[in-house]
Amino acid sequence: MKPNLRNFDLEEIRNFLKDLGEPSYRGDQVYHWITCKAALTFEEMTNLPKNLRKELDKHFSLSLPEIMELQADEEGTTKFALKLEDGEIIETVLIPERDHFTLCVSTQVGCAMGCTFCLTAKSGFKRNLEVYEIISQVIIAKRYLKEKGVELPLRNIVFMGMGEPLANYKNLIKALKILEDKRGFNFSRKRLTVSTAGLVEKIYELAKDFPTALALSLHAPNDELRKKLMPVAKKYSLKDLIQALKAFPRVKNGRHTIEYVLIKDVNDSLIHAEELARLFKKLPVKINLIPFNPHPELPYERPEEEKILAFQKHLLSHGILTTVRKSKGLKISAACGQLRRRVIEKVLTPDTCDLKTAVRTGAVL
Ligand code: SF4
């Protein structure tokens, strides 16, 4: 199988071109095509000699994952189920903001972290994504926006889709570097957010290697409850985590993000809010409350609206910046892993409708 050219950074691509007897600026041209212009074929690269285009095609692939299904709600949140070359399926979500789009990308097929409130965890871990499989999610989103004639730019990338990003460390770092490279995608470092369930050693490594905006998936204000919700907490205490957080450079508005899924009667009381406030009182963080998205396979419920607001109010009263994530995409299998699960079930069901036809005709939009 030919290597996918999206696996490589500019220096590597320049070297490939050099090996083909080409000057280094040809590498820059090719890199521009595969990043800024989101090219799908070498044939599109009209400023390259025809022979070179053929030669590149002989050695490299530019293939993208296949869009198995996409769902969009009326606000413009669009969820993609993408089929990789080995048949595995991942999810990517495009979220409209006031003046830009944010893309939530996956870094693994499945996840080994085993969080009890997460559908992805139920399918277990399959494999890490390659660099080109991470980058391809960005290309697919860019092309989608272009084809739809949407003018708002894709400005933010959050590594919060399927998988634990820091468990696929090497590929994550390379993908981040490619996304930041000013000669290509040119995403600002503070607009690249890496989330983690809390792999403490890797947080220190990221701080050293490529500090981005950081989002810590906390979900519980004490070790006892956290261990029940997130097996990773059995290895790393909150004390260790907060220590790592303090040591991490703050690139985004001087604040780290704390993600907290609010689950009815599990972690949503005012006692929990008070514990959370005490943990972060003196730290520059933003707490993002995410009301749980219910699913028949998960044993939890979403708290009532009043309880969500009371939780937020309590944190705000302690001077902690706290937002409640809007339920964008509630109608479109928005919880992590839901669309993937639905597509896999459909594909495995013999009398399924033709998904590709459905996508082509817009029937799923
Ligand atoms: S919530 Fe995130 S880290 Fe936890 S199992 Fe799901 S994908 Fe993995």
How confident is the model over 181-203, as pLDDT tens digits? 999 999 999 999 999 999 999 99
Residue 282: per-residue pLDDT: 85
The active-site residue out of 104, 115, 118, 336 is 336
Please report the atom of ligand 1 found closest to the CA of residue 117: 1
Question: What is the separation of C-alpha 107 from the centre of its chain, rounded to a whole number of angstroms?
Answer: 7
The residue to mutate among 118, 196, 261, having the most atoms of ligand 1 within 8 angstroms of its beta carbon, is 118
Residue 341: per-residue pLDDT: 64
CA–CA separation, 43 and 46 (whole Å): 7
**Does 44 qualify as catalytic in the annotation?**
no
Burial class, 21, CB count within 10 angstroms (exposed 0-12 / middle 13-18 / buried 19+): exposed
Residue 252: per-residue pLDDT: 65
Q: Is the Cβ atom of 229 under 6 angstroms away from ligand 1? A: no
Q: Is the Cβ atom of 233 under 6 angstroms away from ligand 1? A: no
Encoding tokens for residue 280? 């972060």
Q: Residue 359 pLDDT > 50, yes or no?
A: no
CA–CA separation, 40 and 64 (whole Å): 8
Please report the atom of ligand 1 found closest to the CA of residue 118: 6
Give CATH 3.20.20.70 domain extents, the chain: 66-348
CA–CA separation, 290 and 333 (whole Å): 15
Residue 348: per-residue pLDDT: 41
Q: Residue 265 pLDDT > 80, yes or no?
A: yes
> In 3D, which of 181, 182, 253 has the Cα closest to residue 215?
253
Give CATH 1.10.150.530 domain extents, the chain: 5-59
Q: Is the Cβ atom of 130 under 6 angstroms away from ligand 1? A: no
pLDDT band at 336 (very low <50, low <70, confident <90, very high): low
Residue 81: per-residue pLDDT: 97
Q: Answer yes or no: CATH 3.20.20.70 is held by domain 66-348.
A: yes
Bridge partner residues of 286 (DSSP): 257, 321
Q: Fill in the DSSP letter of residue 61.
A: B
Bridge partner residues of 253 (DSSP): none
What is the side-by-side strand order in the sheet with 256-262? Answer: 66-72, 78-83, 89-96, 101-104, 154-159, 192-196, 213-217, 256-262, 285-291, 321-324
Q: Fill in the DSSP letter of residue 285.
A: E
CA of 302 to the centre of ligand 1 (A): 18
> In 3D, which of 324, 327, 303 has the Cα closest to residue 312?
324
Residue 342: per-residue pLDDT: 64
Beta strands in the chain (DSSP E): 66-72, 78-83, 89-96, 101-104, 108-110, 125-128, 154-159, 192-196, 213-217, 256-262, 285-291, 321-324
**Does 115 qualify as catalytic in the annotation?**
no
Q: Quick one: fold of 5-59? A: DNA polymerase; domain 1 (1.10.150)
CA of 129 to the centre of ligand 1 (A): 15
Q: Residue 5 pLDDT > 60, yes or no?
A: yes
Question: Average pLDDT of the chain?
Answer: 90
CA–CA separation, 332 and 365 (whole Å): 10
Q: Is the Cβ atom of 216 under 6 angstroms away from ligand 1? A: no
| Residue nearest ligand 1's atom 4 by CA | 115
Residue 325: per-residue pLDDT: 86
pLDDT band at 361 (very low <50, low <70, confident <90, very high): very low
Q: Is the Cβ atom of 91 under 6 angstroms away from ligand 1? A: no
Q: Is the Cβ atom of 111 under 6 angstroms away from ligand 1? A: yes
pLDDT band at 251 (very low <50, low <70, confident <90, very high): confident
Helices and strands in the chain: count of H runs, count of E runs: 13, 12
pLDDT digits (tens, 9 = 90+) for 107-129: 999 999 999 999 999 989 999 99
CA of 217 to the centre of ligand 1 (A): 9
Residue 339: per-residue pLDDT: 67
Q: Is the Cβ atom of 120 under 6 angstroms away from ligand 1? A: yes
Torsion sign over Cα 178, 184, 189, 191: negative
